[in-house]
Chains A and B, each alone.
Chain A
Amino acid sequence: MQTVAGIIVLASLYVLLGVGYVLIYRASRVLNLAQGDLMMFGGYALFAAATSVAAAPLVAIPLALAVSGMAGFLIYILLMSRMAGHPVFAAVLVTVSLGILLRVGVVLLFTDQLRYPLQVMALTNPPLHLGRGVTVSMIDALSVTAAVVVMAALVLFLRGSTLGIQMRAAGERPLLAAQRGINFQLLFALSWALASLTGGVAGVLYASNVRLDPSLGVFGLKAFAVALVGGLDSLGGLVPAAILVAAVEVLTIRFGNPLLAEVSPFLCLLAMLLVRPWGFAGTREELERV
């Protein structure tokens, strides 16, 4: 049962990160390869808020999340919007450069020492005994809760709100949506803000649970594999993909060769590309665009 708990906790982080890839891809067909670095940015935003503004978690955490969301919005306005009309691969390369810049910026500002925001906020992360020999940390439990809340909120937003419906329309039928006068710039900026925010949530949780260091962005690459396994344009495919990839990873460590664990998400991706290249719930036509 402890193994199952470990799989669910890891999957929840993959969901929080994977959502960012899907949101941006659905809206603008851009693969945001800086998503892992946006997660790292969220973690450092928390550390910066806790050390310089207020150590109180009720201030520091919302502030870090607000900064994360705003960063995504600004990245679109200042950088990505200028890529309109250029080939998609150019925009993808911009996101690669963005990731590198974020990493360098963090090292310059915070150095490469390990940081522990939870300690700065004077919080503890006690183990929760869930029965049947299962123990997870308080923040592990929060990660799972956050993933459920984020997925539910996104489904409600995309199905129930005007902006959400416009976002779906822009992603699915861009020409028709443009003819209806939908503000694409706003929607793209919003998708970047939401992706950065969810990345920030993952970063805040991970940094509080484990630690913070500039190489954290590498985690994003594994979540990228998760998003592809689920289907890049599908939020619905993300959850089973995250569980599958997390399960393979955890079981490899527990019962196989732990050294294979780091590559196991990419083995899942390879297998999925051979069997069903558009992922669990992605659209077949989307494959050509990738």
Chain B
Amino acid sequence: MKPYRVWILIALVVLVPAVQASAAEPYQIGLSAAITGPAAATYAPTFDAYKAYFKRVNDAGGINGHPVEILVEDDRGEPSRAAANAKKFSEGVIAVVVASTSATYNPFLVESETGKIPLLFGGGVCPPRAFPPAAPLVFCSTSFGAQWDSRFAIGFIKQRAGGKKVKVGFVAQNIPISQSEMVFAKNLAGEQGLEALDVVVVPGGTADLTPFASRIKESGAEWVLSWAPWPIEIGVFEALNRIGWNGNYLLYAHQQAQADLTRLKAPNLLGFGGNSFFSENLPIHRQIIDAVKGVTTHSPDFMAEGWVSAMVIEAGLRKCGWPCGKEKLAQALTSVSVDTKGVRGGPIEWTTDNHYRKNTYYKVSNLFYFKGAIVSVADWTRLEVK
């Protein structure tokens, strides 16, 4: 054998596996979600959305030639499990995604700061550190955000009241973020010339919500605003309905809203939210429906939060290139602009000091009997987040 052929052979033996190994090396992202436990109905769909989303991405060749590997841990919405997951993710992953209850946030925030790991909240409520001025490593793609949601909701009620000083009741769950949001909304309502009633705080897991509903009804509330986990929001409305209350009920339209608005067919139930309903049947909705077929037991409209969160991660990784470390990814995320293709009212754009979004969009929907379908009461409204 001629010497140059020997060298080619040696080069092939040494380099080909190295190139293959490099091509196969994945981007590793940690995902901690409440896949089981009392909050699973809200957060488990995010896990399914991630599975479906990155299967598509990987099947199409990955990102920058590398597959994305999602390392999943179930935290059941419990702080102790979250702490264990945060420790587990502190080595090896380049970013951590949290889709769980706010009670689990602290261990991730601590671990993120210690290990300099970018942290994305995708499905659970956005922590204050994602809002301007944002902490360098904390990001949030979730559609709902404290204070901005109430600003929109109170403005909507005021507009609907048409200058009348209507009585507005507030429903929160006994978790700090929900309670403080409804206190904020109550103060805002007072400032805006509405008659703000007391905030009714409902313990999570309460089986019978009728006494809470009676309290609201007897206070004379004409409007009720609720910003809480879905079972409380919708549960109090149903309890009010059962005792014959006729006012208007405005709630944050979490992912379960489409199913429940359709089920209840209540003209006085209005949902405002940052995600479009799948009943709009946009191309992106059809794409999600196809992607999650056979992957989840949840309805495709439960995938919106997880899907958007996965879109953001994909955009960050594309920008980060290869190799992509924690620091480089954090840097990349601070300037992403993600076209959500209609899942949201506009793009998710982050800047160095705003990791929530430059603009947030809301739409209000309800279900009219005569149309038999969910319809928008008001089209997208943009609020600038400063």
Per-position 1/0 for A202-221, Cβ under 8 A of B: 00001001110101101100
A112 to B45 CA separation, bound complex (whole angstroms): 11
User: Within 8 Å CB of B38, what residues of A?
Assistant: 112, 215
CB of B142 to closest CB in A, whole Å: 20
Within 8 A of A (CB), among B17-49: 36, 38, 40-41, 44
Report which of A114, A137, A219, A259 forms a contact with B203, defined as CB distance below 8 A.
Answer: A259
A113 to B214 CA separation, bound complex (whole angstroms): 27
A163 to B335 CA separation, bound complex (whole angstroms): 77
A111 with B217: in contact, given A215-B38, A253-B212 (CB under 8 Å)? no
User: Within 8 Å CB of B297, what residues of A?
Assistant: 111, 113
Does B59 belong to the interface (CB within 8 Å)? no
CB of B41 to closest CB in A, whole Å: 5
A129 to B244 CA separation, bound complex (whole angstroms): 8
| CB <8 Å contact, A135 and B244 | yes
Does B208 belong to the interface (CB within 8 Å)? yes
A2 with B217: in contact, given A140-B242, A262-B206 (CB under 8 Å)? yes
A259 with B174: in contact, given A3-B214, A114-B256 (CB under 8 Å)? yes
Does A116 belong to the interface (CB within 8 Å)? yes
Q: Which of A6-14, A24-32, A71-79, A232-240 contacts B (4 or more CB under 8 A)?
A: A6-14
| CB <8 Å contact, A261 and B210 | no
Does A127 belong to the interface (CB within 8 Å)? yes
Does B384 belong to the interface (CB within 8 Å)? no
A216 with B214: in contact, given A127-B241, A127-B242, A259-B201 (CB under 8 Å)? no
| CB <8 Å contact, A254 and B41 | no
User: Within 8 Å CB of A253, what residues of B?
Assistant: 211-212, 215
A215 with B205: in contact, given A2-B218, A125-B242, A210-B235 (CB under 8 Å)? yes
CB of A263 to closest CB in B, whole Å: 9
Does A177 belong to the interface (CB within 8 Å)? no
| CB <8 Å contact, B215 and A216 | no
User: Within 8 Å CB of A258, what residues of B?
Assistant: 200-203, 211-212, 215
User: Within 8 Å CB of B244, what residues of A?
Assistant: 127, 129, 135
Within 8 A of A (CB), among B237-263: 238-239, 241-244, 256, 263
Within 8 A of B (CB), among A114-128: 114, 116, 119, 125, 127
User: Within 8 Å CB of A254, what residues of B?
Assistant: 211, 214-215
Does B318 belong to the interface (CB within 8 Å)? no
Does B207 belong to the interface (CB within 8 Å)? yes
A113 with B298: in contact, given A107-B36, A216-B207 (CB under 8 Å)? yes
A111 to B217 CA separation, bound complex (whole angstroms): 34
A6 to B241 CA separation, bound complex (whole angstroms): 14
A6 with B210: in contact, given A127-B241, A259-B174 (CB under 8 Å)? yes
User: Within 8 Å CB of B209, what residues of A?
Assistant: 210
Does B342 belong to the interface (CB within 8 Å)? no
Interface Cβ pair total, 8 Å cutoff? 89
User: Within 8 Å CB of B218, what residues of A?
Assistant: 2
A136 to B238 CA separation, bound complex (whole angstroms): 12
User: Within 8 Å CB of B210, what residues of A?
Assistant: 6, 9-10, 140
CB of A128 to closest CB in B, whole Å: 9
| CB <8 Å contact, B298 and A136 | no
| CB <8 Å contact, B238 and A210 | yes
| CB <8 Å contact, A113 and B41 | yes
CB of A144 to closest CB in B, whole Å: 13
User: Within 8 Å CB of A37, what residues of B?
Assistant: none
User: Within 8 Å CB of B231, what residues of A?
Assistant: 114, 211, 213
Q: Which residue of B lies closest to A260 (CB)?
A: B203
A93 to B215 CA separation, bound complex (whole angstroms): 40
Does A250 belong to the interface (CB within 8 Å)? yes
Report which of A216, A219, A249 forms a contact with B211, defined as CB distance below 8 A.
Answer: A249
A6 with B206: in contact, given A112-B41, A215-B38 (CB under 8 Å)? no
CB of B230 to closest CB in A, whole Å: 8
| CB <8 Å contact, A13 and B203 | no
User: Within 8 Å CB of B36, what residues of A?
Assistant: 107, 112
User: Within 8 Å CB of A222, what residues of B?
Assistant: 207
CB of B233 to closest CB in A, whole Å: 12
A250 to B36 CA separation, bound complex (whole angstroms): 31
Q: Which residue of A lies closest to B208 (CB)?
A: A10
A129 to B202 CA separation, bound complex (whole angstroms): 26
Q: Which residue of A lies closest to B209 (CB)?
A: A210
Q: Which residue of A lies closest to B243 (CB)?
A: A135
| CB <8 Å contact, A219 and B263 | no
User: Within 8 Å CB of A137, what residues of B?
Assistant: 242-243
User: Within 8 Å CB of A9, what residues of B?
Assistant: 210
Task: List the interface of chain A (C-beta within 8 A of B).
Answer: 2-3, 6, 9-10, 13, 107, 111-114, 116, 119, 125, 127, 129, 135-137, 140, 206, 209-211, 213, 215-216, 218-219, 222, 249-250, 253-254, 258-259, 261-262
A-B contact sample (5 more), CB < 8 A, given A125-B242, A211-B238, A216-B207: A116-B263, A210-B235, A258-B200, A261-B203, A262-B206
What are 16 A-B interface contacts by the 8 Å CB criterion? A6-B210, A10-B211, A112-B36, A112-B44, A113-B298, A114-B256, A129-B244, A137-B243, A210-B207, A210-B208, A211-B231, A253-B215, A254-B215, A261-B203, A261-B211, A262-B203
Task: List the interface of chain B (C-beta within 8 A of A).
Answer: 36, 38, 40-41, 44, 174, 200-203, 205-212, 214-215, 217-218, 231, 235, 238-239, 241-244, 256, 263, 297-298
